Structure 1
Amino acid sequence: MSSSPVSGDSAPALSKLELAKAELCGLDLRPRLAELAQEGWESLDEATLTVRLKWLGIFFRPVTPGRFMLRLRLANGVVQADQLELLAETVDRCGEHGSADITTRQNIQLRGLLFEDMPPLLEAMDRLGLTSRQSGHDNPRNITGNPLAGIDPEEIVDTRPLVQAIQARLFQPDGPRNLPRKFNVAVGGAPDSFLLHNDLAFLPATHEGRLGFTVMVGGFFSAQRNELAIPLGVWLEGDQLPDFTLAVLHHFEQCGNRAARNKSRLMYLIDALGMEAYRAAVVAAYGALAGGDAASRLATHDGTHLVNRAPRDGLGWNPQRQDGLAWMGLHVPMGRLDAETMLELARLARTYGSGELRLTEAQNVLIPNVPLERESALRAEPLLQRFRPEPSALQAEAVSCTGNAYCSFALIPTKGTAQALVEELERRVELPHAVRTHWTGCPNACGQPYMGQIGLMGAKARKDGEMVEAAKIFLGGSMGADPKLAELHDKGVPLSELPDVMEQLLVERFGARRKAAQP
């Protein structure tokens, strides 16, 4: 299918960015990557350096010039011990510059890499079944699913093969190469699979007594607008997900807005066409791709589904659906990893489990398939003193974007600030239940602040006549049966005043009790 932009009766002029994308697809750089690396990153033109390399998952970071980030694709957040060891060795070679982050899409980003290290690293990843393909910029991002897939006692459907099949389909020659903007896809498989922040979400649902998926479309966060996905009005069976996803992306690739980048996410296209016309166009695209027999299996659906509560954190010791086995969920403070810790996680997965690890959207890690009799030995491992299975009520679901240490858009250092605030509040108050906090450094909302019971966004505020680092506060995000985005509560609290303001909020809104003053 053509990737030319179509919006209304005539196509508007392409922006400078769209022209750069149309001139050369980043995927075509892969065979030339070794040559480019030998010439050096300084020799690259701006479009290749800042845009096209992201099709290979390689990110130039203006705040750390010469040190690159590599974003992986880990379908459904599953990673094997030998894969994690390769990533750890890569980070280790970067010395003090190297680190890794678990992302809010069950993924891993490696930081501090040299450009000349990329070609051998991608080859080594290929050998171990890892890829970073199309993990950035205007591409379908890492496809998420139930982190407990296959081991969950409450599982409705195992999302792993479905997510893997979608990814494999998108990597075929007719897969998307030049979308108008990024595109998030997710598959739900349990009663707590909240996925409405995705452009395309498949949620388990029944139709005429059969289990399949209802389709939700248009969810996204941005600096201009935030929306939860809404029902498309279509139900389909599990084996239809890959082709249906590709049909949606083909239509978006052809018809999405390429003239106004701030209005190019999927929901704007739905608004422009109207839901009935959009649904008809997508169903037609699916019929053309998959054939009439497949299209006839689609059913009209009202969007009701089997997801009815907020996601579990998955932390601690939990019996699996398999007799005699359990998973251990470990809290990773703000999702930050170093090489030594990654190697230790790989060792624990091999020693106590099946050599597999799972990543969650809350930036934590799970070790599955541990025999019940090994619980005490696993709990005695030193790493579990830092990556606690039962963290505090504030720590358990604290999520953070990268912050200004690596991102030029961020206005504040999110991870360090968030961790310090959690520790300070733990000294001040006791909470009767976990409180989900989401930190993001700028309005682009990578840390998903609108999903938090408390969301915090980097900002600037005036204090004593000077502009200082601050945080906007959002309250009321819900990921349950009646989902709701958090709303602005305070447009700018200086970071130095944030502990006092947050303490008062926790007492007034979340039932916190102040601890006695320490001598």
Structure 2
Amino acid sequence: MTQGREHGPRVREACPGVVAPMATGDGLLLRLRHPIGGLDPEQARTIARVARRYGSGALELTNRANLQLRGFTAETLPAAQEELARTGLTDADPDREAVRNVVASPVADVDPEAVADVRPLARALAEAITASPALRELPPKVGVVVDGGGRAPLGDLPADVRLEAVATAAGLRYRLAVGGTARSAAVLGRVTVEGAVPAAVAVLERFRALRQTAAEPPRRLAEAVDRFGTEPFEGMAGLEPVSGAEPVARRPAAAPGDFLGRAPQGAWVGAAFPFGALSADQLEGLAGLVEAGSGGTLRVTPWRTVLVIGAGPDALPALEALGAISDPADPRLRVSACIGAPGCDAAAAATRTDAPTLADAAADLLERGGRLHVSGCEKGCGEPAAAAAVLTAAADGYTLNVADGSAEPLQTGLAPEAAWRWLAALGRVVASEQRQGERVETTMERLGKSTLAARVRWEVGHGG
């Protein structure tokens, strides 16, 4: 944490909040941590009013299910913070705010396929973490996932600590795992509902203790497991062993399109926005879709969508009128881009200006299930883990990377027009080589970097 200019706001270099925002190219950025259980209509309207009155009116949905408000100044910040505090969604202490990184399944309470409603447990865990002075010393990116399963599982969302609901012969249990996704995390065992919060806190406390004794403290639990194994986190009281195949890891991955439109049984109506960016007016419009007296809320998801619980029968036409994406087949769902220039001082390109045209070039990739991400710098903010192609801006142009299992770029120094040609050529190569039922990423891995690069380069020079 650093100080801003004299008498200015307290500013974070990374992982901003509301109490400690982040300075960006378009002003101060405020991040509301994941609202477990969603925003009620009045909270959403307050956020929209604050964004419009004191900021630029621009908001963003993040891939950690947070909500960001952009364009504040040192002069408008205090009033914005005061109004947001009245929603009950913020922390007065920036150190508490920094570690309140608990993401819960967004609709486990209304999804008949969910294993359990995890909201009470997730809230209790968030409170336990922020109440601990010791845990406030954790690196600010350390986060926890509480997964209720069902139609909106969080298996592909990486986390330092995972609590995943499992139905067993002995009743509801939570699989406790560390350092990754549902498939890659190291499983420590199972815990009861009552033991879940103490067990997760104990893992985080041991991680903190490990950091204090390590010559080079690991920043995340995945790094700690890679270096020291799971032994430092084992042996906790009440931990039940896990044997045999684990159903959590076999849950199908979720994608933004899975939640759009009206869900079965009308449990929710889902909306997305290009690049996860929406305006204060659009957020206020979403709040207006919640029927009076329904007890409905707006659920912010890690797929950069908003799910409206308690929406009326005319919600779908209303979403279209708001400019939201409600069609799961809309190709814009497979394209992401960071804020880019001028919104970010670190960005070397206006990514959201370039991205729509680049998406047209990547049509073959997108139609075959691939994702495109356009990043303004090498930090890769907002980059989805499943991106098949990533364009990263630098001073000399875009660098094109593909999901072929290697870190070596396919090409560097691409002007936007050249990046267009390379993406189009990449799509043609994938289209000609992809096997039935094969994922785009698998096709690239099978071809290998040298063959893929040679084929794409030929297509750039000779293709259509």
**TM-score scaled by length of structure 2:** 0.78
Report if aligned partners of 2:261, 2:328 keep a CA contact under 8 Å in 1.
no
Aligned-residue offset at 1:129: 1.9
How many angstroms apart in 1 are the aligned matches of 2:215 and 2:356?
A: 37
Aligned-residue offset at 1:101: 0.7
1:159 aligns to what? 118
Note if 1:72 corresponds to 2:27: no
Note if 1:42 corresponds to 2:11: no
Report if aligned partners of 1:335, 1:363 keep a CA contact under 8 Å in 2.
yes
Aligned-residue offset at 1:335: 1.0
Q: 3-state DSSP class of the match of 1:311? A: coil
Note if 1:336 corresponds to 2:277: yes
Query: What code does the residue aligned with 1:316 have?
Result: L
Aligned-residue offset at 1:300: 1.8
How many angstroms apart in 2 are the aligned matches of 1:262 and 1:491?
A: 35
Note if 1:504 corresponds to 2:425: yes
Note if 1:359 corresponds to 2:314: no
How many angstroms apart in 1 are the aligned matches of 2:431 and 2:174?
A: 35
Aligned sequence identity (%): 23
Q: 3-state DSSP class of the match of 1:412? A: coil
How many angstroms apart in 2 are the aligned matches of 1:121 and 1:368?
A: 27
How many angstroms apart in 1 are the aligned matches of 2:403 and 2:317?
A: 38
Aligned-residue offset at 1:356: 1.1
Note if 1:442 corresponds to 2:395: no
Specify which of 128, 148, 159 is matched with residue 198 of structure 1.
159
Report if aligned partners of 2:100, 2:130 keep a CA contact under 8 Å in 1.
no
Report if aligned partners of 1:394, 1:437 keep a CA contact under 8 Å in 2.
no
> Could you say if the C-alpha distance between residues 320 and 258 of structure 1 is closer, same or farther in structure 2, counting changes exceeding 3 Å?
farther
Note if 1:106 corresponds to 2:26: no
Q: 3-state DSSP class of the match of 1:369? A: coil
1:469 aligns to what? 397
How many angstroms apart in 2 are the aligned matches of 1:334 and 1:75?
A: 20
2:388 aligns to what? 454
| Partner deviation per Cα, 1:150-208 (whole Å, 9 max, x = no partner) | 22232122222222121122232546222145202111122543245211122233555
Q: 3-state DSSP class of the match of 1:241? A: helix
Please say which of residues 341-350 and 258-267 is displaced more in the overlay: 258-267
Counterparts of 1:224-243 in structure 2, within 5 Å, are 229-243=184-198
Aligned-residue offset at 1:491: 4.7
How many angstroms apart in 2 are the aligned matches of 1:262 and 1:406?
A: 33
Structure 2 unaligned segments of length 5 or more: list them. 435-464
| Partner deviation per Cα, 1:354-382 (whole Å, 9 max, x = no partner) | 441112212121212335xx1xx323327
Structure 1 unaligned segments of length 5 or more: list them. 1-16, 21-25, 27-40, 221-226, 284-294, 461-466, 477-484, 513-519
Counterparts of 1:403-418 in structure 2, within 5 Å, are 403-418=340-355
Please say which of residues 256-265 and 188-197 is displaced more in the overlay: 256-265
1:142 aligns to what? 101
Query: What code does the residue aligned with 2:144 have?
Result: V
Note if 1:395 corresponds to 2:329: no
Note if 1:345 corresponds to 2:305: no
Specify which of 260, 269, 274 is matched with residue 316 of structure 1.
260
Aligned-residue offset at 1:137: 11
1:217 aligns to what? 178
Aligned-residue offset at 1:106: 1.0
Query: What code does the residue aligned with 1:490 have?
Result: L
Note if 1:129 corresponds to 2:49: no
Q: 3-state DSSP class of the match of 1:105? A: coil
**TM-score scaled by length of structure 1:** 0.71
Report if aligned partners of 1:472, 1:488 keep a CA contact under 8 Å in 2.
no
How many angstroms apart in 1 are the aligned matches of 2:123 and 2:45?
A: 22
> Could you say if the C-alpha distance between residues 179 and 272 of structure 1 is closer, same or farther in structure 2, counting changes exceeding 3 Å?
same
Report if aligned partners of 1:256, 1:265 keep a CA contact under 8 Å in 2.
no
> Could you say if the C-alpha distance between residues 380 and 188 of structure 1 is closer, same or farther in structure 2, counting changes exceeding 3 Å?
same
Aligned-residue offset at 1:383: 4.3
Specify which of 8, 14, 21 is matched with residue 59 of structure 1.
21
